[in-house]
Structure 1
Amino acid sequence: MPETRADYRLLRDMPTRWFDNDIYGHLNNTVHYQLFDTAVNAHLVETGVLDPHTGDTVFLVVESGCRYFAPLSFPEVVTAGLRVAHLGRSSVRYEIGLFGGEADTAAAEGFFVHVNVDRQTRKKAPIPDAARDVLEALR
């Protein structure tokens, strides 16, 4: 069964775009992953814990997945629910629910694992305390 908006710690509205629809008239499955990526990274940038251009470390996606329950389509506004399911030394697993319009149950649910790495060497690096605090608030 899909989860509800109340199951997530943070909600973010995200507009759909004309070209998000596929030939079948609903959001192409790849768009769900773009929405996941945008919801997570926008939160990290807005809270000041990720500087994708000059930060010493960056988060890389190493695993992701999605289950689909109902179609989403343009011009619908999608709400992304976000929470942290696991916070390790250098990795974090997010769970994201996508809700269409005013629906209370998720149309799609996914996960995505970030690993914090040194920008130059791409080797694992501990998640900094400031980022850890932001992520912990999503647990």
Structure 2
Amino acid sequence: MKPQPDTRSAYAHFQPITTRWMDNDVYGHVNNVVYYSYFDTVVNTYLIRAGVLDIEAGETIGLVIETQCNYFSSLSFPDTVVAGLRVARLGNSSVRYEVGLFRNDDEVAAAQGHFVHVYVDRATRRPAALPPALRLALTPLVRPSAE
């Protein structure tokens, strides 16, 4: 079954991301691999601003174990991408983040996908329970997934 694009109402948090000239490929649109950097940007910016991601000294870190993206329409420079973020699953040591990428003021996603972070101890790289502050910061983002 072919996935259908979500609307903005399916997401809990939004962040504008300015496209760059170098994001475009020879076909005149944002290259597919750049979409994943937009996913990383919205998730990690949210976590840093919420005070739950210390990239230099945090005891736990999130490792991406799964990622996927569906493309519905093109993005290109100089569009502004508005990344919508939700949490579809908040587990004991993992989180499934889902992201919709919206071109400028469009209501329907140009692309959407997910990635799963497994949180691990920084030193041992063994799975670790989500810290309470992280769980608290992510709870407002929890929305049911279309899957």
Same fold (TM over 0.5): yes
Q: Find out whether 1:129 has 2:132 as its counterpart.
A: yes
Shift of 1:107: 0.1
- The match for 2:118 among 89, 100, 115 is 115
> In the aligned structure 1, how far is the partner of 2:138 from the partner of 2:126?
21
Shift of 1:6: 1.0
- The match for 1:15 among 4, 13, 18 is 18
**Partner of 1:84: helix, strand, or coil?**
strand
Amino acid corresponding to residue 5 of structure 1 in structure 2: R
Provide structure 1 residue ranges, at least 5 long, that are not aligned to the other structure: none
Amino acid corresponding to residue 124 of structure 1 in structure 2: P
**Partner of 2:86: helix, strand, or coil?**
strand
Amino acid corresponding to residue 71 of structure 2 in structure 1: Y
> In the aligned structure 2, how far is the partner of 1:56 from the partner of 1:102?
38
1:63 corresponds in structure 2 to: 66
1:32 corresponds in structure 2 to: 35
Q: What pairs with 1:42-121 in structure 2 (closer than 5 Å)?
A: 42-121=45-124
Aligned residues: 139
Deviations 1:25-73 (A, max 9, x none): 0000000000001100110011000101111111111100000000000
**Partner of 1:137: helix, strand, or coil?**
helix
1:41 corresponds in structure 2 to: 44
Provide structure 2 residue ranges, at least 5 long, that are not aligned to the other structure: 143-147
Shift of 1:13: 0.4
Deviations 1:83-126 (A, max 9, x none): 00001000000110000011000000000000111111111000
Shift of 1:3: 0.6
**Partner of 2:88: helix, strand, or coil?**
strand
Q: What TM-score do you get using the length of structure 2 for normalisation?
A: 0.93
